[in-house]
């Protein structure tokens, strides 16, 4: 997993509308919460996405943006986003190349680990957490990012 204080690797991935989205675009308006998750529609990933959805008004008020990354297709992300009314970007890393760049590939190269990064507007990782099975750790991370959101710009 990438260390705090390092530059976040740039990437471009399709979103849930199948539009190409680059990290630079996501950082344009300010800091970003970039979270990696194993799969759409699984119990833990759904719970995590809905926790972030429920915090989203506070996230926006703090000047932060959110993007989720997992290996499913844009169509899967679109269905997931629509079913759970997710107001943030979901990115399709079908080749797991971005997961590799961020060091969040699962054990033995299988799957994707649950990890969340706070990236400032200059592209520096300011905080990070990996807690594969502890979904609540990611919600705590987001709340901590809310408290420091303005200072991460």
| Domain residue limits, the chain | 13-152
Q: Report whether 33 contacts 68 (CB < 8 A).
A: no
Please report, to the nearest 10 degrees, the dihedral formed by the alpha carbons of residues 103, 85, 65, 132 taken in order: -30
**What is the pTM for the complete model shown?**
0.90
pLDDT at 138: 67
Single out the catalytic residue among 8, 13, 23, 45: 45
How many CB atoms lie under 10 A from the CB of residue 37? Answer: 26
| pLDDT tens by residue, 102-146 | 999 988 778 899 999 999 999 999 999 987 666 677 677 888 888
Fold for 13-152, please state it: Glutaredoxin (3.40.30)
DSSP 110: -
> Among 111, 96, 121, 109, which residue's Cα sits nearest to residue 13?
96
107 Cβ neighbours under 8 A, 6+ residues apart: none
| pLDDT tens by residue, 4-44 | 999 999 999 999 999 999 999 999 888 999 999 999 999 99
Average pLDDT over residues 70-77: 98
Average pLDDT over residues 63-70: 95
- The question of whether 45 is a catalytic residue gets the answer yes
Which of the four pLDDT bands, split at 50, 70 and 90, describes residue 149? low
């Amino acid at each position: 997993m990438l260390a705090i204080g390092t530059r976040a690797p740039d990437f471009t991935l399709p979103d849930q509308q199948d539009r190409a989205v680059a990290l630079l675009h996501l950082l344009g308006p300010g800091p970003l919460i970039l979270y990696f998750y194993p799969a759409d529609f699984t119990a833990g990933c759904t719970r995590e996405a809905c926790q972030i959805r429920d915090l989203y008004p506070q996230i926006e008020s703090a000047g932060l943006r959110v993007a989720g990354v997992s290996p499913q297709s844009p169509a899967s992300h679109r269905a997931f986003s629509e079913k759970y009314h997710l107001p943030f970007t979901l990115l399709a890393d079908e080749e797991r190349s971005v997961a590799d760049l961020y060091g969040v590939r699962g054990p033995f190269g299988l799957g994707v680990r649950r990890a969340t990064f706070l990236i400032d507007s200059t592209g520096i990782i300011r905080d990070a957490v990996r807690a594969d099975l502890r979904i609540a750790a990611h919600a705590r991370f987001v709340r901590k990012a809310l408290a420091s959101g303005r200072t991460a710009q």
